[in-house]
């Protein structure tokens, strides 16, 4: 057994973590985020600077603006996070940084900062796959055993994955075009509701009739595990063009019908995926939804009811851990530390990085 000053003890087969502190950095899209957690899963600080106002007027994220803003805000957020946690930089044992996938300029900023801190302060550096952060963070607040079936739905991703154990992930299906969150954002844009679209569409949908308009449900056939949302978005655009003047009630009806359709598609796909999952893991009854769209209460409720009838339980993170944050990156880093995995400083930032391509 080797001891080191950081409270990390290791032998050839195990890593024992005692009072370890991990600092997480997230810069893969339009949120600059820093969090500090300890090995009891306590969040010591959680800082987030959202760039929404910078990108709003463009109707979407502008990569160059995002990267420059990360450069500007990341150092301040790290200082604030350390102050908030009432620790010093020396108390931190490892720096976990999103290493991809994402907008490459932003990922480079986070990785370079994380590597530099780790190297100067002689700390461990752990490059985290952003999707792995989303995939694991529900375990931080709920007692969820491996294996579980994961639906990861965000602005950039929509996929169903078997989470077998840490680092062993098999993708059952994914979107072949738009992600579900992207479709929410585009519908909001078509209706001039603002950005990001998900929360606004959900709010409007509450006042609307979900059967007012019938929208297509692409790729809804037996044995097809992939998703497609671009046809749905086009159908919404065509419907809007057909209406001469759009009233507030029309907007609500479109949002409700769109949200209903997304929910129907997701529910169908999850049931299909459960056939595969239950054949492989008959004893596991855990389904997890994560990513920005998992903040949608309507979707959570429909999915929860649907799978409950089959004996499964739906888990989801608290709303602030659904959308991008650094707690999930710090948590994935801690899980890796507990299993003895670190990255070396030669790690290269990645714009694309599938969940099933993570190599320890």
Which residues form the interface with ligand KG4 (CB under 6 A)?
29, 154-156, 181-182, 184-185, 196-199, 202, 291-293, 295-296, 323-324
38-43-49 Cα angle (round to 5): 125
For Zn ion, which stretch binds (CB under 5 A), given 15-23, 236-244, 320-328, 333-341? 320-328
Min. distance of Cβ 259 from Zn ion in angstroms?
A: 20
Are 220 and 268 a contacting pair, CB within 8 Å? yes
Shortest Å, Cβ 26 to Zn ion: 8
Nearer to ligand KG4, 46 or 296 (CB): 296
Q: Which of ligand KG4, Zn ion, none does residue 327 bind (CB under 5 to 8 Å by kind)?
A: none
Alpha carbon distances (Å) from 192 to 28, 56, 187, 244, 246: 26, 12, 9, 15, 11
Q: For residues 229 and 217, what is the distance between their CA atoms, to the nearest angstrom?
A: 8
* Binding test (CB under 5 A) with Zn ion, winner from 51, 154, 257, 343: 154
For the bound state, the minimum distance from the C-beta of residue 18 to ligand KG4, rounded and expressed in Å, comes to 32
Candidates 31, 182, 324, 335: give the one binding Zn ion (CB under 5 A): 324
Question: Taking CB under 5 A as the rule, does residue 32 contact Zn ion?
Answer: no
Tokens 């320890």: give the residue. 360
Alpha carbons 286 and 273: distance in angstroms, whole number: 13
Q: Which is nearer to ligand KG4, 60 or 167 (CB)?
A: 60
Decide whether 93 or 253 has the Cβ nearer to ligand KG4: 253
**β-pairing, 43-50 with 158-165?**
unpaired
**Sequence-distant (≥ 6) Cβ neighbours of residue 146 within 8 angstroms:** 163, 164, 165, 166
Instruction: Return the structure tokens found at 187.
Output: 């519908």
Q: Which of 46, 29, 169, 186 is nearest to 103 (CA)?
A: 29
Tell whether residue 26 is a contact of Zn ion (CB under 5 A): no
Smallest separation (angstroms) from ligand KG4 to the CB of 218: 19
Pick between residue 178 and residue 253 the one whose CB is nearest to ligand KG4: 178
Question: What whole-number distance in Å separates Cα of residue 163 and Cα of residue 273?
Answer: 13
Cβ proximity to ligand KG4, 78 vs 205, nearer residue: 205
Q: What is the dihedral of CA 298, 288, 103, 259, to 10 degrees?
A: -20
Shortest gap between Cβ of 96 and ligand KG4 (angstroms)?
17
* Chain residues in the site for Zn ion (CB under 5 A): 154, 324
């Amino acid at each position: 057994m080797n001891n080191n000053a950081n409270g990390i003890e290791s032998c050839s087969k195990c890593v024992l973590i005692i009072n370890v502190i991990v600092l997480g950095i997230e810069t893969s899209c339009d949120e600059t985020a820093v969090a500090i957690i300890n090995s009891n899963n306590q969040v010591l600080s959680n800082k987030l600077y959202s760039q929404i106002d910078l990108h709003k007027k463009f109707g979407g994220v502008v990569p160059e603006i995002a990267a420059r803003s990360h450069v500007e805000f990341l150092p301040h957020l790290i200082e604030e996070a350390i102050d908030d946690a009432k620790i010093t930089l020396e108390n931190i044992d490892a720096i976990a940084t999103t290493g991809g996938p994402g907008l490459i300029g932003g990922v480079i900023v986070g990785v370079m900062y994380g590597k530099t801190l780790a190297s100067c302060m002689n700390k461990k550096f752990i490059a985290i796959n952003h999707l792995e952060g989303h995939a694991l963070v529900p375990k931080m607040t709920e007692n969820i055993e491996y294996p579980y079936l994961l639906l990861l739905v965000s602005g950039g991703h929509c996929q169903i994955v078997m989470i077998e154990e840490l680092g062993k992930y098999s993708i059952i299906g994914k979107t072949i075009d738009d992600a579900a969150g992207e479709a929410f954002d585009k519908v909001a844009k078509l209706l001039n509701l603002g950005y990001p679209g998900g929360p606004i569409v959900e709010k409007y949908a509450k006042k609307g009739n979900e059967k007012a308009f019938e929208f297509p449900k692409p790729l809804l056939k037996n044995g097809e595990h992939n998703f497609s949302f671009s046809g749905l978005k086009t159908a919404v655009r065509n419907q809007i063009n057909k209406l001469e003047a759009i009233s507030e009630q029309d907007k609500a009806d479109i949002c409700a019908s769109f949200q209903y359709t997304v929910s129907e598609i997701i529910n169908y796909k999850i049931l299909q995926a459960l056939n595969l999952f239950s054949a492989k893991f008959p004893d596991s009854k855990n389904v997890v939804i994560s990513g920005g769209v998992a903040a949608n209460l309507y979707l959570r409720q429909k999915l929860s009811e649907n799978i409950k009838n089959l004996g499964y339980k739906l888990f989801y993170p608290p709303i602030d851990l659904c959308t991008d944050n650094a707690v999930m990156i710090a948590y994935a880093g801690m899980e890796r530390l507990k299993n003895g995995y670190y990255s070396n400083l030669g790690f290269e930032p990645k714009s694309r990085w599938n969940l099933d391509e993570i190599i320890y």
